[in-house]
Amino acid sequence: MYNTMLVNCSGCATALMLPPGAGSIRCALCHAVTLLSDPRSISPSSAAAPPPPPSPYNHAPPGPLPNPHGRKRAVIIGISYRFSRHELKGCINDAKCMRYLLINKFNFPEASIIMLTEEEDPHGPKFPTNHNIRMAMFWLAQGCQPGDSLVFHYSGHGSQKRSYSGQEADGFDETLCPLDFETQGMIVDDEINEVMVRPLPHGVRLHALIDACHSGTVLDLPFLCRMNRMGQYVWEDHRPRTGVWKGSSGGEVISFSGCDDHQTSADTSALSKITSTGAMTYCFIQAIERGHGATYGSILTAMRSAIRNVGNDGGVVGGGVVTSLVSMLLTGGSLTGIGGGLKQEPQLTACEPFDVYTKPFSL
């Protein structure tokens, strides 16, 4: 467990949770960076204040350490919205490449991966409708045991809708768009958090990979890693000011997303040079295959660098294992690329802050 410290934001005086060992924290409301040494961050009554209440992570039942060889299972979703004005070209490629990666790189059993795409039976449970995606999320989190490793990958449209709950720093809920979202509605970040994050007990690990527009905080996790182009970062406190708990029940949840909440994610052939893929999915797989998968920080910086360099001379795009994989799984797509770099920045969110450059990455 982490020993955390509460400080007041030097800009708006909101209480913020300072990550262990960190000297600063960024406020999601006013964007001020508060330094530990800033006198405005020290509450007048802090010296006499009682210790904070126990972390929800301490509520897990006692017992032996988790089995390091626990079960692995995954839900992979790729939606192309074929024959509609919302059509995307690379999402099914993304789903197939992610399935291949999980099976061949991280030893996920084929039988433990549920893949929802439009190539499945339109009347079956693996067609990516609102109902089927919800059921898949429930399946992923149901009956988890210590040692389990879960993966949720989504490639498709994402959006936003106005939030009136007071739980969103920017006033908007982030959403995923099922194939039938125009008639059955979108899946809101509050529900994703409630179904896949909050139930997870101690010893369970969930990694989400969301390749969609407006996806920065689509799991509603309490902390966002705000990183600059030099690789320097500060954890931003996104806990709702209403006091609602958005973390897990002791499990570890970490999400990579394609862009910030206000940005859009690209569906492009500029990376693979062969066919369309989601930029975030392609760059994540490329980071793993090119040896940048040691830590969360090394993955995130490699992804951001690849996206920034799209279309630039010397950019590290195209070629190698990922392009070969895309070619092998080729399902067709537009060959119109995007030059001059992509205007998106992959994000990292988590239930608890950690040192991104020392924490080993593992699925």
This prediction has a pTM of 0.77
The values of phi and psi at residue 187, to 5°, are: -100, 120
146-to-31, 66, 142, 250 alpha-carbon distances in Å:
37, 5, 13, 10
- Reading the block at residue 94, the tokens are 């993304």
The answer to whether 260 touches 347, Cβ cutoff 8 Å, is yes
Helix (H) or strand (E) holding 33: strand 33-35
Model confidence at 187: pLDDT above 90: yes
pLDDT in tens, 98-153: 999 999 999 999 989 999 999 999 999 999 999 999 999 999 998 899 999 999 99
Task: Please give the pLDDT value at position 206.
Answer: 97
* Highest mean predicted confidence (pLDDT) among 13-27, 171-185, 196-210: 196-210
Please tell me which residue in 153, 157, 207, 238 is annotated as part of the active site. 157
- Of 84 and 39, which is predicted with more confidence? 84
Between residues 131 and 64, which one has the greater pLDDT? 131
- Mean of pLDDT values over 324-333: 49
What pLDDT does residue 11 have? Answer: 72
Residues contacting residue 25 through CB under 8 Å, at least 6 positions apart: 7, 16, 17, 18, 19, 33, 34, 234, 235, 236, 237
Distance separating the N- and C-terminal Cα atoms of the chain: 21
| For range 247-264, the mean pLDDT | 87
Q: Is 213 designated active site?
A: yes
238 is an active site residue? no
Confidence band for 12, pLDDT divided at 50, 70 and 90: confident
Q: For residue 45, is pLDDT > 90? A: no
List residues bridging with 205 in a β-sheet.
Answer: 149, 252
- Quick check: 71 pLDDT over 70? yes
DSSP 8-state class, residue 65: P
Please state, in angstroms and rounded to a whole number, the distance separating the CA atoms of residues 290 and 246: 34
In whole angstroms, give the CA distance from residue 288 to residue 294. 8
Q: Provide Rg for the chain, Cα atoms.
A: 20
User: What pLDDT score was predicted for residue 323?
Assistant: 55
Digit-coded pLDDT (tens) for 266-277: 666 655 656 677
The architecture of the domain spanning 72-263+273-311+342-350 is: 3-Layer(aba) Sandwich (3.40)
- Find the catalytic residue in 97, 144, 177, 213: 213
